[in-house]
Amino acid sequence: MSALERDGASGRPQLVDPFGRAITYLRVSVTDRCDFRCVYCMAEDMSFLPKAEILTLEELDRLCSAFVARGVRKLRLTGGEPLVRRGIMTLVASLSRHLRSGQIDELTLTTNGSQLAKYADALRAAGIRRINVSLDTLDAEKFRAITRWGELDQVLSGIDAAQAAGLKIKINAVALKGVNEDEFLQLIEWAHGRGMDLTLIEVMPLGEIGAGRLDQYLPLSLVRARLAERYRLDDIDYRTGGPARYVRVAETGGRLGFITPLTHNFCESCNRVRVTCTGTLYMCLGQNDAADLRKPLRACEANDPLFAAIDEAISRKPKGHDFVIDRRHQRPALARHMSVTGG
C-alpha cells in the first residue's frame, strides 16, 4: 500500500486556494505553553489550555501527515515553545519519515533556544537541517526584561550546541522601539560573524498583553534607512518560503531579512496555513476565520472527514490580511496571541 493510500489521500488533489495559490507550507503550533513570557507575546499570568483540548502527539502526526498527503512540502513546528512539549522528539522523529520518503523538502522549527543544548543532536539526527531561533538582544539584562523569565546564557549555549551539531540557524529579532533599536548593528555583526542569517520582525498587533502596542511599534522602513547609512544593503532574490524580504549586507557578506506585516503586504505569494495545538486551522495569520480540524480528526480513524474539513477551509482562504493597530484605543487588531498561532 502506498503512503497516499494509507492516508486515504490517493486520488485527492493538491490543496489550491481560490486565488490559485498552492498550499505547500504548514506551520504547526505543538503547544501553547512556553518557558518565557516575552512582553510582546504573552501576559505574565497567561492561562493555558486544558490538556483535553490539546491534540496528542499522535493526533498532531496524523494532522501533519494529512496535509503532507495533500501536497504540503514544508512543515514548521512552533508554539508556544515547541521544545517544552513533553515527548516532542517522538513527534519530530515520526514526522521525519516524510523527509526520508521525499514527500517533504523540509522539517524545521522555530524555538526560543532555551532547550537547544539538550535537543540539538537529536534534531539533527531526525533530519532537521535549519532552525529559526528567536533572540532580540545580546544584553543579558535586556533579555531578561523582554522575555521576563529567560536566561541569555542558556540561549547562547543552545545556539552553540545547534551549530556544533551542524544545524543552520536563522536568528529572528523583533524590533522594539526604545528597547533593542540601538542594537541592530551589533546583532548583525554577531549573527553574520557566526554564519547565521538575521531577520528583523515588526511587532504585530496580536493578543492583549498589557503594554500599549504603539509604544513597541518600530517601523522597519525606518530601521532599514538607518542601517543603510552604515552598510550597503543589496536587494537579493533569496526566499525561504516565508514572508521575509532579504538584502545582502555588503560589508558582512551576510543576509538580512525584514518581515513587515504592517507596512508592507506579503500576501500575494502566500503558500501557507497554520494549525494550533487544538487543531484549529487558520487560513491567514491576520484574519480570524478558522476551521476546527480536531472534531473530524477525533470523529473517526479514517481521514475522509478530515480531508473534507481541510478542503472546505482552504476554499475560504482569504486574499490577504488586514492588520491595523487601533490607534484610538490601542487595542490589538486580533484578540489571539502569537503563541496560539505560532507566528
Ligand X SMILES: C[S@@+](CC[C@H](N)C(=O)[O-])C[C@H]1O[C@@H](n2cnc3c(N)ncnc32)[C@H](O)[C@@H]1O
**Residues near ligand SF4, by CB under 6 A:** 34, 36-38, 41-42, 79-81, 112, 134, 339
Contact between 96 and ligand X per CB under 6 A: no
24, 65, 108, 172: which one binds ligand X (CB under 6 A): 172
DSSP letter for each residue of 252-278: T--EEEEE-TTTS---TT--EEEE-TT
> How many residues bind ligand X, per CB under 6 A?
20
Contact between 257 and ligand X per CB under 6 A: no
Q: How far is the CB of 131 from ligand SF4 (least distance, A)?
A: 13
Which of the ranges 11-19, 161-169, 188-196, 200-208 carries the binding residues for ligand X, by CB under 6 A? Answer: 200-208
Contact between 134 and ligand X per CB under 6 A: yes
Phi (first) and psi of residue 256, to 5 degrees = -125, 125
The three cell numbers of residue 117 are 543544548
Contact between 110 and ligand X per CB under 6 A: yes
Q: Which of 119, 124, 102 is nearest to 168 (CA)?
A: 124
Question: Which helix (H) or strand (E) segment is 91 a member of?
Answer: helix 88-95
Q: Which of 251, 247, 212, 215 is nearest to 231 (CA)?
A: 251
> 206 and 334 in contact (C-beta within 8 Å)?
yes
Residues 6+ apart with CB under 8 A from 80: 29, 30, 31, 32, 33, 34, 277, 339, 342
Q: How far is the CB of 313 from ligand X (least distance, A)?
A: 22
Phi (first) and psi of residue 147, to 5 degrees = -90, -10
> 218 and 175 in contact (C-beta within 8 Å)?
yes
Contact between 104 and ligand X per CB under 6 A: no
Binding partner of residue 63 among ligand X, ligand SF4, none, CB cut-off 5 to 8 Å per kind = none
* Environment class of 256 (CB within 10 Å of its CB; exposed 0-12, middle 13-18, buried 19+): buried
Contact between 114 and ligand X per CB under 6 A: no
Rounded to whole angstroms, how far apart are CA atoms 137 and 127? 29
Q: How far is the CB of 262 from ligand X (least distance, A)?
A: 9
Binding partner of residue 37 among ligand X, ligand SF4, none, CB cut-off 5 to 8 Å per kind = ligand SF4
Binding partner of residue 42 among ligand SF4, ligand X, none, CB cut-off 5 to 8 Å per kind = ligand SF4
Instruction: Give the x-and-dash track for 12-41 against ligand X (CB under 6 A).
Output: ----------------------x-----xx
81, 117, 197, 198: which one binds ligand X (CB under 6 A): 81
Contact between 201 and ligand X per CB under 6 A: yes
Residues that bind ligand X (CB under 6 A): 34, 40-41, 78-79, 81, 110-112, 134, 172, 174, 201, 203-204, 206, 338-339, 342-343
